[in-house]
């Protein structure tokens, strides 16, 4: 219903505008164009009459053929005007042959203008000369018909219409031969063939309105069909079908609207996918946290219940062992909570980075020196394989120290006693690359995609109560610095961190 209402409203408005525009065009034609053309015809008539009168004034006598020659030579191009000589004796000499029925009308126009000779009648034997009779002897005149001369029925343009003619006297001037006035020169216009007649415009008005109506209805229907298709897709999108798309039908305004609608729908679909992925991660995170908290809490609860149960007899050594388990699990819970809070702060950008220009190589050497005692106590060798060259980057020093420490502690957890862990920084074209490698059991290929996930832990050589969030924190810190971190398979584990050079 809405589409039909829009269709008929548009069609009605279009037809109204067409009618008003056509009426305005007719009004402009009658009020502006017609006066302009009348003035133009009057100017042409005055010029032609002036030239013809000058040429006739030089004749020896008022010979009709010579007068006709002068009129023909000064005719207005296009035959929009007819030049006629009216003698004082009533003779009518036109510039070209005209139908006999036009003679009385020309005389009526001359009589209305009170020109001499208008009411006089020429002798019966007198008639207008014809071009095919040839010029006077010894003079050049218009060539006869059939040999390049003007035709009998109208000169070099369309003849005046023999029916439905409406003649007007555009201008007139006296005709003299020597110092003697022999008649008048008339410039006759025919409104039935020229654009002076507004009735010819009105004749085509119904056809123009009909054509405009058909075109308007077709255009309106096409627009309504395209808008209807857009409305149908919008309804599907509103119902939740974000895969619906509009078929773009052109490069006009509606086509651009269709294209932007498709882009909007694609953006909504991408946003929904992102929300769904975030929601899935949130549910997984809650499940992981629940699992990680359940194990130590269960251990703590069981130990305390055993100690408090009077029916269970425990020695001093057993009581101490139970308390040691409670303390260990409490420390594990404390580490887990701290790492969770740290990761949450990083992901929410609650604490902005404080980047400074620092020597990454010196930072790595200092961190390795600080952890060397822990590695020695675990029976591992920690060494620096890089050179002493500087590696300047722009980064938050505390966060980058956390990255190096987490990578080393991860190696400390998985490398068996007697193994070796090494650090090195290589210089690239526009970046520096830190490599932490060991000679431990390495990383299984199926574990590589999950190493930096939260709470992911492979089977460690020693269990020191890790939270499973160390590598996830490393990835978040490195990415916030615009760098990359990844693990490579092979003999032993190999972790790579790449950061841009300081400018």
**Long-range contacts, stretch 143-152, CB < 8 angstroms, 24+ apart:** 150/72, 150/96, 152/97
**147 occurs within a structural domain:** yes
Q: Are residues 78 and 171 in the same domain?
A: yes
**395 occurs within a structural domain:** yes
Residue 409 near residue 370, CB atoms below 8 Å: no
Q: Between the CA of residue 438 and those of 205, 310, 424, 491, 493, what are the distances in Å?
A: 94, 50, 12, 8, 6
pLDDT given for residue 461 in this prediction: 42
Residue 391 near residue 425, CB atoms below 8 Å: yes
Which contiguous run of DSSP H or E holds residue 236? Answer: helix 198-238
Cα angle 49, 50, 52 (rounded to 5 degrees) comes to 60
Q: Which of 166, 200, 234 is the last residue of a domain?
A: 200
Q: Are residues 416 and 477 in the same domain?
A: yes
pLDDT given for residue 473 in this prediction: 85
**221 occurs within a structural domain:** no
Q: Where are the alpha helices (DSSP H) in 58-130?
A: 64-73, 102-112
Q: Can you give the residue range of the structural domain that contains 412?
A: 354-500
Q: Between the CA of residue 399 and those of 52, 336, 403, 427, what are the distances in Å?
A: 106, 18, 6, 21
Q: Are residues 332 and 404 in the same domain?
A: no
Q: Are residues 157 and 46 in the same domain?
A: yes
Instruction: Pick left, alpha or beta for residue 377 (phi over 0 → left; psi -120 to 50 → alpha; otherwise beta).
Output: alpha
**210 occurs within a structural domain:** no
Beta bridge partners of 495: 436, 487
Q: Are residues 51 and 171 in the same domain?
A: yes
Q: Are residues 48 and 85 in the same domain?
A: yes
Q: Are residues 292 and 347 in the same domain?
A: yes
In CATH, what number is assigned to the domain containing residue 280?
1.10.287.130
**156 occurs within a structural domain:** yes
Q: Which of 325, 351, 377 is the last residue of a domain?
A: 351
Task: Pull the structure tokens for residue 220.
Answer: 């309106």
Number of domains in the chain: 3
Q: Are residues 190 and 338 in the same domain?
A: no
Task: Pull the structure tokens for residue 299.
Answer: 């251990």
**208 occurs within a structural domain:** no
* Tokens 């229907």 belong to residue: 221
pLDDT given for residue 125 in this prediction: 41
Q: Which of 150, 181, 200 is the last residue of a domain?
A: 200
Task: Pull the structure tokens for residue 161.
Answer: 């219409």
**213 occurs within a structural domain:** no
Q: How many residues does the chain have?
A: 503
pLDDT given for residue 149 in this prediction: 41
pLDDT values of the chain reduced to their tens digit, one per residue, 503 residues: 444 555 566 666 666 766 666 666 666 655 665 677 777 788 888 888 888 888 888 888 888 888 899 888 888 887 778 899 988 888 888 988 888 778 888 888 888 888 888 887 766 544 555 544 444 443 344 444 433 344 443 343 444 444 445 788 888 889 888 888 889 999 988 765 444 455 555 556 666 667 777 777 787 788 888 888 888 888 888 888 888 888 887 777 778 888 888 889 888 888 888 888 878 777 776 776 676 677 778 888 888 888 888 888 888 888 888 888 888 878 777 777 777 777 777 777 767 788 899 999 999 999 999 999 999 999 999 999 888 889 999 999 988 998 999 899 888 888 888 999 999 999 988 999 999 999 888 887 777 777 887 766 655 444 555 567 778 888 989 999 999 999 988 788 899 999 999 87
Q: Are residues 363 and 346 in the same domain?
A: no
Which contiguous run of DSSP H or E holds residue 289? Answer: helix 253-308
Interatomic CA distance for residues 153 and 158, integer angstroms: 9
Per residue in 267-285, pLDDT (tens digit) is 888 888 888 887 877 777 6
Instruction: Pick left, alpha or beta for residue 94 (phi over 0 → left; psi -120 to 50 → alpha; otherwise beta).
Output: beta
pLDDT given for residue 435 in this prediction: 93
Which contiguous run of DSSP H or E holds residue 176? Answer: strand 167-177
In CATH, what number is assigned to the domain containing residue 361?
3.30.565.10
Q: Are residues 395 and 443 in the same domain?
A: yes
**234 occurs within a structural domain:** no
Q: Are residues 309 and 456 in the same domain?
A: no
Interatomic CA distance for residues 372 and 498, integer angstroms: 24
**Long-range contacts, stretch 378-382, CB < 8 angstroms, 24+ apart:** 378/412, 378/417, 378/462, 379/417, 379/418, 380/412, 380/415, 380/417, 380/418, 380/419, 380/420, 380/421, 381/419, 381/420, 381/421, 382/408, 382/420, 382/421, 382/422, 382/423
Cβ neighbours for 351, distance < 8 A, ≥ 6 positions apart: 345
Q: Are residues 109 and 143 in the same domain?
A: yes
pLDDT given for residue 195 in this prediction: 46
Helix pair angle (316-348, 470-480), 10° resolution: 20
Per residue in 66-95, pLDDT (tens digit) is 889 988 888 888 777 889 998 888 888 898
């Amino acid at each position: 219903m809405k589409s039909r209402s829009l269709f008929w409203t548009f069609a009605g408005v279009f037809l109204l505008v067409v009618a008003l525009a056509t009426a305005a065009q007719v009004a402009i034609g009658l009020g502006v164009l017609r006066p302009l053309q009348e003035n133009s015809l009057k100017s042409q008539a005055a010029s032609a009459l002036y030239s013809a009168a000058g040429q006739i004034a030089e004749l020896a006598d008022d010979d009709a053929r010579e007068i006709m020659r002068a009129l023909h030579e000064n005719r207005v191009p296009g035959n929009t005007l007819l030049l006629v000589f009216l003698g004082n004796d009533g003779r009518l000499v036109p510039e070209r042959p005209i139908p006999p029925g036009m003679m009385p009308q020309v005389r009526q126009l001359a009589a209305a203008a009170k020109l001499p000779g208008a009411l006089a009648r020429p002798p019966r034997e007198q008639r207008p000369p014809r071009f095919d009779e040839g010029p006077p002897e010894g003079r050049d005149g218009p060539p006869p018909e059939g040999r390049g001369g003007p035709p009998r029925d109208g000169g070099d343009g369309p003849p005046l219409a023999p029916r439905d003619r409406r003649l007007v006297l555009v201008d007139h001037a006296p005709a003299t031969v020597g110092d003697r006035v022999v008649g008048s020169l008339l410039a006759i216009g025919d409104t039935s063939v020229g654009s002076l007649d507004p009735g010819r415009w009105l004749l085509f008005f119904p056809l123009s309105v009909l054509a405009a109506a058909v075109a308007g209805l077709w255009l309106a229907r096409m627009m309504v069909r395209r808008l209807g298709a857009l409305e149908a897709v919008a309804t599907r999108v509103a119902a939740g079908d974000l895969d619906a798309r509009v078929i773009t039908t052109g490069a006009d305004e509606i086509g651009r609207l269709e294209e932007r609608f498709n882009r909007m729908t694609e953006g909504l679909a991408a946003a929904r996918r992102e929300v769904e992925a975030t929601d899935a991660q949130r549910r997984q995170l809650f499940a992981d946290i629940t699992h990680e908290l359940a194990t130590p809490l269960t251990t703590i609860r069981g130990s305390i219940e055993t100690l408090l149960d009077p029916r269970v007899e425990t020695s001093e050594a057993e009581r101490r062992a139970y308390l040691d388990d409670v303390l260990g699990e409490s420390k594990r819970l404390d580490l887990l909570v701290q790492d969770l809070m740290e990761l949450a702060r990083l992901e929410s950008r609650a604490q902005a980075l404080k980047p400074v220009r620092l020597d990454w190589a010196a930072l790595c050497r200092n961190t390795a020196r600080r952890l060397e005692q822990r590695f020695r106590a675990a029976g591992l060798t920690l060494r620096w394989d890089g050179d002493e060259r500087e590696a300047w980057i722009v980064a938050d020093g505390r966060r980058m120290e956390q990255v190096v420490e987490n990578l080393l502690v991860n190696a400390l957890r998985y490398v068996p006693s007697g193994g070796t862990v090494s650090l090195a920084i290589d210089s690239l074209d526009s970046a520096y690359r830190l490599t932490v490698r060991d000679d431990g059991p390495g990383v299984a290929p199926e574990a590589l995609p999950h190493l930096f996930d939260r709470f992911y832990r492979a089977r460690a050589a020693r269990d020191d109560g890790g939270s499973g969030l160390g590598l996830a924190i490393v990835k978040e810190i490195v990415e916030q610095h615009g760098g990359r971190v990844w693990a490579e398979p092979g003999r032993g584990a190999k972790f790579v961190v790449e950061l841009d050079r300081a400018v």
